Structure 1
Amino acid sequence: MNAHELTPTLRDDLAGFIGDIERLESIVATWEEEPRSVVAAHKLAIEALNSEAFRRLIRALKADPAALAAMKSAASDELVYAVLRRYNLLKASLHERVEQALDSVRPMLKSHGGDVELVGVRPPKVEVRFKGACDGCPASTLTFHAGVKKALQDVCPEITEVVQIKGLSADAESGVRFISPFALNAEGNWIPAGMLSEFPDRIVRSMSLENRKVILYRDGASITCFENACAHLGFPIHDGEVEGGIIICPHHGFRYDLASGECLTAPEVQLQPHAVRIVGAKVEVRITA
């Protein structure tokens, strides 16, 4: 090891500073355990000192409105922001928290050949788009509500509207039915809905589960479940005419795809989905909030 390897490069950009730190950390990682432990303890001691100094500085600045305004302005600099975030002296930005929420569901989506990307953050609205197998998948509505939308609103309660932008890809294999990853192997709150043989093919069946009125629709080996309420005015739709997997609301004629819940009359709305799974010959439903 030579002195050059240990000397940080003179620079003023965040990426460069981080690169120097990572390069030095990679060198330390090759050392024996005892010197590595000493370096780690030294690092923690310096960080504790810096953290307390920053806290006292910020506490003093907050007492002066003009200084507080200047501090907030300085925090918009990416390098200042990164350091203050490193010491947990600033809350994560909304954009960071949105990405954190999406990252929490991506492993599950990717295990099924799909993904989700952030289209835009426009408080109180967030727009997302499915990619890969999740784009156009019959279970994408359930994936959106039980996975992506729930994760976003759990992490970012100030977001009151999550919009799914229709994807443009055609990655999903034609003719393959996907099951929402959020309906598989999920624990708890599964309610028996009957035997598979009790659901005639391509016939809508209505029932009440946990005081919620729902409809179930079987198409071959696949069963979907939705709230028995038109997204237009909330009227029940179970008596609607079914044509080619499309149910027509008997009250105002809104048309819904029974595979996805998508409204073909007004694409901005859809039926509220509930998770369905088939265990042996039994059909079970989990009611979503």
Structure 2
Amino acid sequence: MTDRPDTPENDTQWRTAGDRIQTLLDSCAAAGTAAHERAQQLVREVVGLYGAGLERIMQSLDDPGLAERLATDDLVASLLLVHGLHPHDVHRRVADALQRVRPYLGSHGGDVDLLEVTDTVVRLAFTGSCKSCPSSAVTLELAVQDAIRAAAPEICSIELVTNTKPGAVIAAESLLARVHSNGHDATSWHPVPELDVLAPGEVGGFLVDGTALLACRVGDQTFAYRDHCPMCDDTLAGAALSDALLRCPRCGTGFDVVRAGAGANGAHLDPLPLLRRDGVLSVALPCAVTEAMGASA
């Protein structure tokens, strides 16, 4: 995990501002086509007005340090991107995004090489030691895609290629074909501020959008997994953590939480992407899984 600039606690509400605006626009459609078009025009006028103001502010800055701080603030950066005012080019933004998630990838035994960035396409090669763990492949792919799309929304395609370097064992097919065939094509991020209260060595159970998960703190890093033991097919509630080893209280199997939940006989816990967004630890849940749980509730 890497430290991000401090932001006000209520900054997280702006993550969903676009969705709320779209919902309001859609509701205007019920009043007829004319009302809907007027609402859309109103939004365009407001966006244009604030965009013009932001442009003048950026043009007036003569302090490179201030421009840099603005560029690394999630909320401000997102507005600058909307109006094409971000001071960093797409290559710099993609590279910075990967650098922020690299410690997280390393905690799962993986890494990523940035091969090429064009105006709309990013080409990557993954390396690491998680080929035998499909859930880790899902975790890495989700974390990287989220980071890139947030930093460079103009990117239309993220292409993964097989890395031929010695020791490169995460192939593109293990990250894309396996991920998307399992229905993890889209994710929804959920802030879980309670995770920040975990003390080193502590394990906690949480229910996030209907999904039971287990979170544990090792040193200054927090890891999240689905609350399910693959060996005894039971809950991990009551599990104890010793160093980085999480032991199931029922079957006694130990899992290395720092290394993607690796256990005995090739068993793995199911890790969930956990990143700090707007200063708050947030977990990613595949939408397909979320919807299925909601339907079965």
How would you bin the TM-score normalised by the shorter chain?
Answer: 0.3 to 0.5
Higher helix share: 2
Give the structure with higher Rg (CA): 1
Compare relative contact order (CA 8 Å, sep 6+) and give the higher one, 1 or 2: 2
